[in-house]
């Protein structure tokens, strides 16, 4: 559900679902990396670089998850696309 919202530009829904899951005790783990990849993909699609960095740090600090290739790929993709866009538009 979260991935579907993220792919269709409904980033707010992804963030809301993730936050509600955590608030109710459903914690992401290393086996179910889907939670964070969906959140990071939503950040990427919506251009939320700062939020992406926050969730990436949260994954490590709060949930003690060690980032794997899939997480770093999301982060690199996000930084590459949105930083390049800001450089081209003259804001970076």
**pTM here?**
0.75
- The string of pLDDT tens digits covering residues 36-70 is 888 888 888 888 888 988 988 988 888 888 888 88
Give the number of domains in the chain: 1
Complete DSSP assignment for the chain: -HHHHHHTT-HHHHHHHHHHHHHTT----SS-THHHHHHHHHHHHHT-HHHHHHHHHHHHHTT-PPP-HHHHHHHHHHHHHHHHHHHHHT--
Amino acid 70: pLDDT: 84
């Amino acid at each position: 559900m979260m991935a579907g919202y993220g792919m269709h530009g409904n980033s707010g829904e992804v963030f809301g679902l993730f936050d509600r899951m955590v608030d109710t005790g459903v914690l992401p783990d290393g086996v179910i990396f889907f939670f964070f990849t969906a959140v990071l993909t939503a950040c990427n699609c919506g251009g939320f670089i700062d939020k992406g960095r926050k969730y990436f740090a949260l994954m490590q600090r709060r949930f003690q998850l060690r980032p794997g290739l899939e997480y770093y790929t999301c982060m690199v993709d996000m930084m590459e696309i949105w930083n390049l866009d800001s450089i081209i538009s003259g804001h970076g």
